[in-house]
């Protein structure tokens, strides 16, 4: 992937010294001024690539630490000649070094590990520590979308939204048996397909973070 034009793999040292792309993703990477949408823990990147095909006037950036999975999405994006999708290989904990204030317009979290054990709670991507990190670079109008098979993580995140006074915009506990049709939920990731084979209901949340000065 080192040769790929759509993959960025900064080291932590590079990030801490001041990453060259921080604040410059639109101008230097995507070469437009369109909104930036992140997919956190993108795995093979099905969501990022699928959404990029659907929304040519938005930029998508898949983020994951695992290169072998990311290779699949980045290869597909190159083969499809998609210029509005790229991949950033780093830890989600380091994203504050990658983006500047308001640089990101939307976040998707697709089938993250729910970290069921209490001592692992701080690793949940919707834990208040992560949400505070996201608030540093997510535009105030930007929504966070969580798609998961985990009833636990769905309920946990609803509790965090209510308890921390974030703004719930949409909630569905079984998207494929819902009355409301949500077209952006149609794309199925690798993990989603595995969970659907086990007949697990797939849940969805969309919320906005409370204003930055209230954190
Ligand atoms: C359960 S998989 C889901 C992958 C993909 N979204 C899907 O639905 O098929 C979770 C992904 O999140 C990534 N991940 C977990 N914690 C991470 C972190 N702190 N930083 C970067 N990636 C992380 C893992 O490498 C893995 O690819």
Alpha-carbon distances, residue 161 vs 106, 126, 152, 194, 209 (angstroms): 17, 9, 14, 28, 8
Tell me if the pTM is above 0.85.
Answer: yes
Q: Is residue 161 classed as helix, strand or coil in its secondary structure?
A: helix
Instruction: Report, as residue numbers or ranges, the catalytic residues.
Output: 113
- pLDDT tens digit sequence for 192-212: 999 999 999 999 999 999 998
**Atom number, ligand 1, closest to the C-alpha of residue 90:** 21
| Beta bridge mates, 88 | 8, 63
Distance 200 CA to ligand 1 centre (A): 19
Collect all residues with Cβ–Cβ distance below 8 Å to 69 and sequence separation of at least 6. 42, 43, 44, 45
- How large is the angle between the packed helices 46-54 and 67-79, nearest 10 degrees? 20
Q: Would you say residue 215 has pLDDT above 90?
A: no
Q: Which of 40, 50, 65, 89 to mutate to test the pocket of ligand 1 (most atoms within 8 A of CB)?
A: 65
What is residue 155's predicted lDDT score, i.e. its pLDDT?
A: 98
CB atoms within 10 A of CB 29: 18
Q: Would you say residue 20 has pLDDT above 90?
A: yes
- pLDDT tens digit sequence for 117-166: 999 999 999 999 999 999 999 999 999 999 999 999 999 999 999 999 99
Q: Is 1 exposed, middle or buried (0-12, 13-18, 19+ CB in 10 A)?
A: middle
- pLDDT tens digit sequence for 61-110: 999 999 999 999 999 999 999 999 999 999 999 999 999 999 999 999 99
Distance 111 CA to ligand 1 centre (A): 8
């Amino acid at each position: 992937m080192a040769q790929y034009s759509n993959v960025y793999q900064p080291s932590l040292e590079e990030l801490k010294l001041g990453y060259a792309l921080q604040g410059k993703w639109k101008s230097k990477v995507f070469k437009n001024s369109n909104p930036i949408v992140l997919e956190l823990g993108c795995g093979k990147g099905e969501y990022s690539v699928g959404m990029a095909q659907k929304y040519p006037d938005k930029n998508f950036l898949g983020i994951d630490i695992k290169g072998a999975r990311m290779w699949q999405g980045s290869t597909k994006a190159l083969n499809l000649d998609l210029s509005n999708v790229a991949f950033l290989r780093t830890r989600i904990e380091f994203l504050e070094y990658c983006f500047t204030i308001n640089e990101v317009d939307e976040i998707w979290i697709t089938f993250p590990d729910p970290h069921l054990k209490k001592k692992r709670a701080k690793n949940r991507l919707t834990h208040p520590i992560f949400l505070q990190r996201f608030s540093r670079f997510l535009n105030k109008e930007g929504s966070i979308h969580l798609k998961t098979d985990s009833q636990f993580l769905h309920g946990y995140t609803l509790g965090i939204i209510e308890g921390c006074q974030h703004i719930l915009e949409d909630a569905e506990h079984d998207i494929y048996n819902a009355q409301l049709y949500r077209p952006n939920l149609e794309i199925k990731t690798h993990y989603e397909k595995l969970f659907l084979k086990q007949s697990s209901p797939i849940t969805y949340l969309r919320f906005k973070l409370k204003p930055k000065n209230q954190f």
